[in-house]
Amino acid sequence: MSNQENNQQLIGWSKIVMINTGFWKRPISEIKSVQLCFQVYSVLAKLAYISLWILTTVELIRMFLNDYPDQIKFQALSIVASCTIIGSKTLIYLKYDVMEMFHDVIEKEKEVWRSSSEEIKNLYRAKIRVCKAYMLTLCGFTAISLSYFELAGAFAMVELKHQNLISNQTIEPNFMYLTFFPRDKLGNLYLTFSLQTIWSWAGFNFNGMTHMVFLTLVSYSASQLEMLQVKLKNFIGPGDFIADAKYNETISVLKNLIDEHKYIIGFVQHLNDCTKYVILMEYGLSSLNMASVALNLIQSEAVADALYDSRWHLLKKDGKQMVQIMIARAQRPLTLTIGNFGPMTTNSAVLVVKAAYSYVSVFN
């Protein structure tokens, strides 16, 4: 494994979908021809998703104008809504340069592997495994669902074409992606299947990208907080006192840890400013899942506990004052907010579920 790949373990899966969607801004190869091909592909990938959204929207309008069955119109509406949400999240990421935050992840990962602490390395490896497991589950279920619907649709189209020939009817087929197609779909099955494959590829990757980018950055923030806790517990060496010769060095380490804490606070605040409206869109769809991810950041209060568990009482007055200030700041939890409506927690998620259940109970 190259040094570059070794410093991109946490972002590995996110990098793949960002390459697939054409949003990876770093060079993917030192070979100019490969890099040029990727630039062309990135344009085509973005055009594919834009085309998907436009064609599904046009098809939805056509169905309403031609009074299609409500079930078909609802299916088309749900597809347009999903494409719109994914596209909106992508635009938000682009507006706030969220992808640029991956530069911090890569640089900080270099520091992790250079660390002499095996505890920190093992902690980071564990965070990578959890993050990759979640992403694998997300990609796996999405891929299985797409494959099932695409194959089922393909077999249904072939059978429908055969039935139309026998009964001399012109029943219109409906694929998973209800997109506008000006020609006869059954008469152009190969072209139709090819377009459906492109739409599936675009939808799969763009949907995965919007989820994985957010998850990776949250996991990175949580890992930085947990590693900071380890450093705070151990920044004062063993012994019943700190030798005068090492006191200045200890204070210097403490100052560096305070700066690291400030960096994490700033990173999370910036992440929240960039993604709070993405969270708002996702929250109504998967409140409990999003809240469980946010819990990693709410546990930032554990920084104060870790610092208190250190041998801070061995410090002199100036060191104790710095410890007190850092503990006071750590009492304020780092949270992600649901737009402008407040922090995202499991309590707020439960309230959403309770409200939904109450509405259903009333209407029933």
DSSP state letter for 301: G
pLDDT value of position 139: 85
Contact 263, 340 (CB under 8 A): no
CA 91 → CA 64, 65, 138, 192, 278, distances in Å? 28, 30, 22, 28, 10
- Per-residue pLDDT of 312-352, as tens digits, reads 788 888 888 888 888 888 887 777 676 665 555 545 544 44
pLDDT per residue of the chain (364 residues) written in tens, 0 to 9: 445 546 688 888 899 999 999 999 888 888 899 999 999 999 999 999 999 999 999 988 988 888 878 888 888 888 898 889 899 999 999 999 998 899 999 999 999 999 888 999 999 999 899 888 888 888 888 888 777 777 776 666 666 666 655 665 555 556 667 777 777 766 677 788 888 888 889 989 999 898 899 889 988 998 998 999 999 888 887 766 777 778 888 889 889 999 999 999 999 889 888 888 887 776 655 544 455 555 555 566 788 888 888 877 888 888 888 888 888 888 877 776 766 655 555 455 444 444 433 433 433 4
Query: What distance in Å separates the CA atoms of residue 92 and residue 98, rounded to the nearest whole number?
Result: 8
pLDDT value of position 153: 67
Count of positions (residues) in the chain:
364
202: number of Cβ within 10 Å: 25
- Per-residue pLDDT of 240-268, as tens digits, reads 677 777 888 888 988 999 999 999 999 98
Query: What distance in Å separates the CA atoms of residue 291 and residue 293, rounded to the nearest whole number?
Result: 5
Amino acid at 319: G
Query: What distance in Å separates the CA atoms of residue 135 and residue 11, rounded to the nearest whole number?
Result: 11
Phi, psi of 31 (to 5 degrees): -80, 125
Contact 300, 333 (CB under 8 A): yes
List residues bridging with 343 in a β-sheet. 337
Q: Helix, strand, or coil here: 170?
A: coil
pLDDT value of position 170: 55
